[in-house]
Amino acid sequence: MLTTESLLNILPRCKEPFLWVDALNEELPKYDITAIDQIASFLSQTGHESAHFNVLSENLNYSKDGLLKTFSKYFPTPELAEKYARKPEKIASRVYANRMGNGPEELGEGWKYRGRGLIQCTGFRNYSACSQFLFQDDRLVREPELLVEPRYAILSACWFWTANNLNDYADDVKKTTKIVNGGYHGLEDRQAIYDRAMSNL
């Protein structure tokens, strides 16, 4: 069982650990995340991805230079990047248009279904799949902002965890990181969280 104290020992930068403890204790067992290494792995990945449970919605407030560096495929010229700079809604609508089940840029679905939750759920297709798995309805499609609430943020991560069979790799932080991140970004922090969890659970 997690306590507010143990969660804060594991994720020391978590600003409001009391908001998370009950929901974690209630929801993780429903998805067979019960062994100590499984819980440690879950906290390792979700903790890093959400900046210790503090950031639950994707930040797309990019400068012109940020757009040219990060999204050069979608902003091939400085002039185009300038038009979108510091306009998160416009940026998301362009970058995520016609991908992941989203429609064209003008529909704004890239913004509506931007990354949210502990392991950022992104795109109409993922919101729909997550909602059907968790609730057998389309509530997350209708109300995507639910994923910034702690319990829903946890549940969406449980969906991702289950869909990718991450319990099978609970003792391998590097392999789990590759599945969650697509690379090894933040591996050192993820390993540190895992180690703290293993000693506090």
Domain residue ranges in the chain: 4-56+117-200, 64-112
Map residue 63 onto helix, strand or coil.
coil
- Residue 96 has what pLDDT? 97
Q: Mean of the pLDDT values across residues 162-190?
A: 97
173 and 196 Cβ atoms separated by less than 8 Å: no
| CA separation for the pair 23, 27 (Å, rounded) | 6
Give the C-alpha distances (Å, rounded to integers) separating 41 from 35, 57, 144, 183: 10, 21, 26, 16
pLDDT per residue as tens digits for the range 3-40: 999 999 999 999 999 999 999 999 999 999 999 999 99
pLDDT tens digits for range 110-153 = 999 999 999 999 999 999 999 999 999 999 999 999 999 999 99
pLDDT at 71: 96
